[in-house]
């Protein structure tokens, strides 16, 4: 009887040691931080099961006992529920935490920033060049893009809202395009609905055109309303807008200066020879320019000229404007003044 008691005690001790060892191994396998030299990236493919994912862990040397880790996923109810995507694996993360991220779908989020003032072509080029977006299924130009958006009757310029778009790896490029277009439609609707009374533009599209000109004329937030105010005043009086960015839009990409001959050459985007707005937007205006176009500053100014420091001088009369041009553009040499806006 005494021998049996000792045997049972010995078995209990051995069992306790084995359980303790097993718990220690389990803890080391799933809870201890991974020792990595740098953050690594792991991509879980659609249809990849838990066992395959854990085997990939083992191939990278992150786990020694894949079946133990697989048992962990079953015990916690996440086996077969790990989501596809691209995951960061930073130094110090545990296998348990990594699996939890995969269960919750905490994937890497990529970004595409579209600056205010880009053209639609620049936007399309950036989408096509982004390495983490799934390419268009076939070669795509701007006209094709508008057709796919259901707006084959719209000129593509202006119809994509500048913003930072966030997406996961392998998001279809067309999805980002559609989101940017729908965001612009919504922003334009909001600006149009809130516009001032007796605004001289006749439609949301004309407001989009005006906003694009405001966007290209100044990068100063505090000046947008004044610039819009000048153009609104000119439209009300039937004056030509005489804005260089509309002419530059009609030139070869990268053109930054206009010759006097170009100022005189008549075409739909020459706001020196033609009254009113150009036929289409000339850039992608941001929300601030849309709202400035809808809510121009209450000003008597009809002219403005650059100080060459990013700001402008606004003038009510032509005489004031001429003096500002001579001072800021011609170095005080009145003999060089050739007229203009």
**pLDDT above 90 for 329:** no
pLDDT in tens, 215-243: 999 888 999 999 999 999 999 999 999 99
Q: What is the mean pLDDT of residues 50-57?
A: 94
Instruction: Say whether pLDDT at 15 is over 50.
Output: no
Q: What is the pLDDT of residues 121-132, one digit of tens each?
A: 999 999 999 999
216 domain-assigned: no
Report yes or no on 324 lying in a domain: no
Instruction: Label residue 22 by pLDDT band (50, 70, 90).
Output: very low
Contact (CB, 8 A) for 333 and 310:
no
Confidence (pLDDT) at 118: 97
Average pLDDT, the chain: 89
Mean of pLDDT values over 33-62: 93
Whether residue 61 contacts residue 54, with contact meaning beta carbons closer than 8 Å, is answered with no
At 108, is the pLDDT very low, low, confident or very high (cuts 50, 70, 90)? very high
Q: Is the residue at 130 inside a domain?
A: no
Q: What pLDDT sits at residue 337? A: 57
Residues 146-158 have pLDDT tens digits of 999 999 999 999 9
Residue 295 and residue 197: Cα distance in Å, rounded?
9
How many domains is the chain built from? 1
Q: What is the CATH number of the domain that holds 50?
A: 3.30.1490.480
327 found inside a domain: no
Compute how many other C-beta atoms are within 10 angstroms of the C-beta atom of residue 184: 22
Instruction: List b or e across 288-297, with b for residues whose CB sees 16 or more CB atoms inside 10 angstroms.
Output: bbbbbbbbbb
Question: What pLDDT sits at residue 138?
Answer: 86
Centroid of chain to Cα 27: 43
**265 pairs with which residues across the strands?**
none
Helical packing angle, 204-217 and 287-294, nearest 10°: 110
Q: What does the CA dihedral 157, 160, 161, 163 come to, rounded to 10 degrees?
A: -120
181 and 189 Cβ atoms separated by less than 8 Å: no
What size, in residues, is the chain? 341
Distance, in Å, from the CA atom of 154 to the CA atom of 7, rounded to the nearest integer, reads 89
pLDDT value at residue 16: 41
Query: Which is nearest to 110 in space by CA: 161, 169, 163?
Result: 169
Q: Is the pTM of this model over 0.75?
A: yes
pLDDT at 19 over 90: no
16: β partners: none
> What is the predicted pLDDT for the residue at 276?
95
Radius of gyration of the chain (CA): 32
Category of 235 on φ-ψ map: left (φ > 0), alpha (ψ -120 to 50) or beta: alpha
The answer as to whether 96 is a domain residue is yes
- For residue 238, tell me if it sits in a domain: no
Spatial neighbors of 31 by CB under 8 A, at least 6 apart, are: 94, 95, 96
Residue 274 has pLDDT above 60, yes or no: yes
- Residue 18 vs residue 326, higher pLDDT: 326
The answer to the question of residue 296 being in a domain is no
Mean pLDDT computed over 74-93: 94
The pLDDT of residue 340 is above 90: no
- Which residues constitute the domain of residue 58? 31-107
Residue range 73-102: average pLDDT? 94
What is residue 188's predicted lDDT score, i.e. its pLDDT? 98
Determine what percent of the chain is predicted with pLDDT higher than 70. 89
Cite the beta strand spans of the chain per DSSP E. 40-44, 85-89, 109-113, 133-134, 164-168, 171-172, 303-306, 312-315
Domain annotation covers residue 2: no
Mean pLDDT of all residues in 106-110: 95
Residue 256 has pLDDT above 60, yes or no: yes
Phi, psi angle pair for 282, to nearest 5°: -115, 0
The pLDDT > 90 percentage for the chain reads: 74
First to last CA, the chain: 114
For strands 164-168 and 133-134, give the pairing: unpaired
Is the pLDDT confidence value at 331 over 80?
A: no
């Amino acid at each position: 009887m005494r021998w049996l008691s000792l045997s049972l005690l010995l078995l209990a001790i051995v069992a306790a040691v084995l359980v303790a060892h097993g718990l220690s191994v389990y803890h080391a396998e799933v809870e201890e931080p991974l020792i990595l030299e740098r953050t690594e990236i792991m991509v879980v493919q659609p249809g990849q099961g838990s066992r395959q994912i854990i085997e990939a862990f083992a191939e990278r040397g992150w786990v020694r006992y894949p079946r133990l880790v697989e048992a962990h996923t079953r015990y916690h109810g996440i086996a077969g529920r790990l989501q596809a995507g691209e995951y960061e694996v930073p130094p110090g993360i545990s296998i348990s935490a990594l699996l939890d991220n995969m269960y919750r779908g905490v994937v890497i989020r990529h970004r595409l920033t579209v600056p205010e003032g880009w053209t639609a072509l620049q936007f399309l080029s950036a989408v096509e060049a982004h390495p983490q977006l799934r390419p268009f299924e076939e070669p795509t130009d701007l006209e094709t893009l508008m057709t796919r958006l259901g707006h084959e009757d719209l000129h593509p310029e202006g119809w994509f809202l500048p913003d930072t778009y966030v997406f996961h790896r392998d998001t279809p490029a067309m999805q980002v395009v559609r989101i940017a277009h729908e965001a612009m439609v919504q922003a334009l609707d909001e600006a149009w609905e809130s516009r001032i009374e007796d605004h001289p533009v006749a439609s949301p599209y004309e407001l989009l055109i005006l906003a694009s000109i405001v966007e290209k004329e100044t990068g100063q937030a505090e000046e947008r309303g004044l610039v819009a105010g000048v153009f609104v005043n000119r439209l009300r009086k039937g004056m030509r807008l005489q804005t260089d960015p509309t002419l530059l839009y009609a030139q070869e990409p990268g053109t930054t200066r206009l010759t006097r001959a170009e100022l005189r050459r008549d075409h739909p985007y020459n706001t020196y020879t033609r009254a009113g707005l150009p036929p289409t937007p000339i850039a992608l205006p941001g929300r601030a320019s849309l709202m400035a176009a809808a809510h121009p500053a209450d000003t008597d100014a009809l002219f403005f000229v650059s100080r060459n420091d990013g700001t402008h001088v606004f003038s009510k009369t032509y005489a004031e404007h001429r003096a500002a041009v001579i001072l800021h553009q011609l170095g005080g040499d009145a003999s060089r003044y050739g007229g203009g806006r």
